[in-house]
Structure 1
Amino acid sequence: MMKQLRMIGLFVTTAGIFLSSCRKEDKIIPPVITPVDSPAVYNVVKGFYLLNEGNMGSNKASLDYYDYTKGEYHKNIYATANPTAVKELGDVGNDIQVYGNKVYAVINVSNKVEVMDATTAKRIKQIDILNCRYITFANGKAYISSYAGPVEIDQDAPIGFVAEVDTATLEITRKVTVGYQPEEMAVVDGKLYVANSGGYRFPDYDRTVSVVDLATFTEIKKIDVAPNLHRLKADSYGDIYVSSRGDYYDEPSALFVIDTKTDQVKKRFDIATSDLCISGDTAYLYGSSFSYDTNDWAITYDRIDVKNETVLQGSYITDGTEKIIKMPYGIAVNPVTKEIFVTDAKDFVSPGTLYCFDKNGKKKWSVTTGDIPAHIAFVTAAE
């Protein structure tokens, strides 16, 4: 995503955004396969998918796959797996998750969730949801956040919703209205927590987390947190971590902890947080915060002990590689090996780079990805 769009967390574009061409007689470009590591001796995690966002309006969202069993990185696999798909994967890949034996890719501007076989990446079904954003799962259901309106800055933009999808039938079963421009979500003890950004209503951001009772699928309360919320992850102690992008002027990006037993904010970390993942008792996060006052970016790499709710000293990248990462844009941690993956979107218009670090933060390998690499979903042996 272009820098200007990332600054306010919006997905605004020109009038030509939807004019991407069909494939017609274009030749299918086979995946580029790059050996990057030795085949893994364990088989719990078979591999992972990486969803490249692709610059808005370019229709260049793409899908890569890393195969642990062979130590090979496969760049741009979707077209070969789905040779008859019109417009290939679509415009702006915004989230990807694996659940059961399926992989779900949320394609924001194409207004769809692409459901594929987790082993072959072949399309199973397309679920149409306007301006869809993120996806999470619980008890055989998928929950997908939607901005519920067109891609444009608008003070009168509609309030957003979350759609529930049955993962067996892949049909939408229920919808619930939440806040403005809802983003990431997590389920804890029968409640769905939704981070509302209000990004389209700049400078009048939303600042709430919606709490949805899954049994009745109704919003039961809103938790006031901070402006322009984005990321939301649950730990194993009944807390959720939610990031605020701030307002880019007076209020900086920060990270907040909400106790789901009381649904109250109990802690604030004054750490810029663009993305985070929680693995075990550690939250790994990076911040690429922009200030209109300085007209510059500040990039940081931090860790938090979620059990004790304290910031750990030092970066999780320990060998100096962070000095060559231009713009971190995604993070994931292998649940078994604790390898750390960080993506670099670079200039947002050319192929990016994926870096793999061992659990001690030393670089193992790197590889060229598609444009704007952002979202990673691991595939386990049971899937």
Structure 2
Amino acid sequence: MAVLLMGAAMFTACDDNDNEQHEYIVPVTKGAFLVCSGNMSSNIDGSVSYLDYTSNQVANKQFQAQNGRSLGGTPNDALVYGSKMYIAVTGENTLEVVDAKTLKSLRQIKTNVTFGEGCLKPRHLTASGDKVYISFYGKSESSYDENWNATTKGNGYVVAIDTTTFTRQGIYEAGSFPEGISVADKKLYVCNSDYAACTKPSISIIDLTTGSGSLIKNDNIVNPQKIVLTTAGDMYVLDFGNYGDKKSGVYKISAKNNEVTRLMDANDMDCIGSNIFGYYTEFDASYKPVKTTYQVYNLLSQGTSTFYTDTNNEIIPACIGVDPVVGTVFIASNVKNADTGKTDYKANSKIFMFNVEYSQQGVFVSASKNAKVWGATAGVGPCAFAFNVTTNVIKY
């Protein structure tokens, strides 16, 4: 994931000589990709849906349409970096590299063959400089006793690859069942989830120059999934909890002393600037959803604002994405089975969009429904958003 408190745009200009032509570069988002994992038990392959901002229309199964083949089972994450999009396909042990404009395949990489036999089950992606980083479950294993108590053993890895040659540039051992990753200040941060076993979850901090590492462990961090960083080095972690007395939420880990503070309840999160967006669903005793609250936490004000409350279960949220340029918020939703009234994980999903207003300082002000993209049909098993960001050159 990204580093917080950094501007979305980087501008360049020529010197102040009035006789010379000036130009600056403006980032522009053309659309949003939604990675869908499919449904493994029903033999439904994963796919990529694409929302075009110009038409406000969603086109489904776009990877298959452009390449004449399926992504395969359980793609989990995608990253647009430069002119390419990278898709981690957990069930196939593949990394798909495609042209971000056309989705035409540039390379299909069998990760356990190309990067090393331990590079199994790719999970999440991030990038820095001329490298893309991929987390792998690797040699992590889990087992359960007759009471469904989990035991885990082995560790996973993070691999750095060159963005031009796609060759391995480095491999770093992480902890048990690594998930979300981030890179900042020549350090790699890894969420070691322990597959919700809650026996050895941790955050790995690995020095990319020396390869040395350290672990952060805390009783509140039991199932870490995503991590973002501030320029000051503070860590903001999405933790799924233990599905019991510890609820899922967003935590701050202080760079000064590793002190852990809970900021808000959340089942997922994404960020832009100083704003962390998330949602949290409350359930009754029969595990029926009662209410979902959509919130944003601002790092500058250190306050939380609710921008939407759903008590009718119109949205059954599966993941959240925030446009990195304009800050529009997207929610991918599962749907109910018309006959049973329960969530249908084999059915096509829906996309819901919120237009968001920010202050001049980039602080969240308000959000409103976008009627043009409210309930648009997308693929089966939505799990991650990525954004088709390009640049326009403005001359003056």
Indicate the residue corresponding to 1:72 in structure 2. 57
Q: SS of the counterpart of 1:361?
A: strand
In the aligned structure 2, how far is the partner of 1:43 from the partner of 1:233?
21
- 1:79 Cα deviation after fit: 1.5
Gaps (5+ residues) in structure 2? 1-25, 112-118, 145-150, 336-342, 357-365
Give, in angstroms, the shift of residue 296 of structure 1.
5.0
- In 2, Cα distance between the equivalents of 1:146 and 1:81? 27
When residues 77 and 151 of structure 1 are mapped into structure 2, their CA distance, relative to the original with a 3 A threshold, is farther
Deviation (angstroms), 1:370: 0.6
Larger relative contact order (Cα-Cα within 8 Å, sequence gap ≥ 6)? 2
Amino acid across the alignment from 2:302: E
Change (3 A) 1:251 1:266: closer
Higher strand share: 2
Aligned length: 329
Q: Which amino acid aligns with 1:148?
A: G
**Counterpart residue number, 1:355:** 352
Q: Describe the superposition over 1:117-163 as per-residue Cα deviations: whole angstroms up to 9, x where unpaired.
A: 11110111122141111010011111111111488646243211111
The offset of 1:307, in angstroms, is 2.1
The aligned counterpart of 1:52 is 36
Cα distance in structure 2, aligned partners of 1:169 and 1:333 = 30
Which residue of structure 1 aligns with residue 248 of structure 2? 253
- RMSD of aligned residue pairs (Cα, Å): 2.5
Hey, what does 2:46 align to over in structure 1?
61
Cα deviation for residue 237 of structure 1 reads 4.7
Contact 1:109 / 1:151 at 8 angstroms: preserved in 2? no
Equivalent in the alignment of 2:274: 281
Percentage of pairs with the same residue? 27
Secondary structure (helix, strand or coil) at the match of 2:367 reads coil
- 1:104 match: 86
Q: Quick one: which of 314, 318, 326 aligns to 1:337?
A: 326
Q: Quote the Cα distance in structure 2 between the aligned partners of 1:253 and 1:61.
A: 26
Q: Secondary structure at the match of 2:176?
A: coil
1:96-130 C-alpha deviation (Å, 9 max, x unpaired): 11001100111111111111011110111122141
Amino acid aligned to 1:46: K
> Against the structure 1 CA distance between its residues 286 and 206, is the aligned structure 2 distance closer, same or farther, given a 3 Å change threshold?
farther
Distance 2:81 2:266 in 1: 26
- In structure 2, relative to structure 1, the CA distance for the partners of 1:54 and 1:263 (3 Å cut) is farther
What is the aligned partner in structure 2 of residue 118 from structure 1? 100
In 2, the alpha carbon distance for the partners of 1:190 and 1:116 equals: 27
Secondary structure in 1 aligned to 2:58? strand
The ranges of structure 1 where at least 4 consecutive aligned residues each deviate by more than 4 angstroms after the TM superposition are 293-298
**2: CA distance, partners of 1:236 / 1:305:** 15
1:178 aligns with 2:167: no
Show the counterpart of 1:137.
127
Preserved CA contact (<8 Å) 1:256 1:265:
no
Q: How many angstroms apart in 2 are the aligned matches of 1:163 and 1:172?
A: 7
> Secondary structure of 1:358's match?
strand
Q: Deviations over 1:278-314 (max 9, x none)?
A: 11221101124779x76455633221011233323x2
Aligned partners of 1:223 and 1:263 also within 8 Å:
no
Unaligned runs of 5+ in 1: 1-41
Match of 1:369 in 2: 378
Between 332-341 and 223-232, report the one with greater CA deviation.
332-341
CA 1:117–1:76: 2 relative to 1, 3 Å: same
Q: Which one of the candidate residues 283, 296, 305 is aligned to 1:303? A: 296
- The answer to which of 136-145 and 51-60 deviates more is 51-60
For 1:211, the equivalent position in structure 2 comes to 205
* Cα gap change, 1:106 to 1:288, in 2 (>3 Å): farther
Please tell me the residue identity of whatever aligns with 2:276. Answer: A
In the TM superposition, what whole-angstrom CA distance separates every residue of 1:159-191 from its partner, at most 9, and x where no partner exists? 111111111111122211111001101112111
**Displacement of 1:61:** 0.5
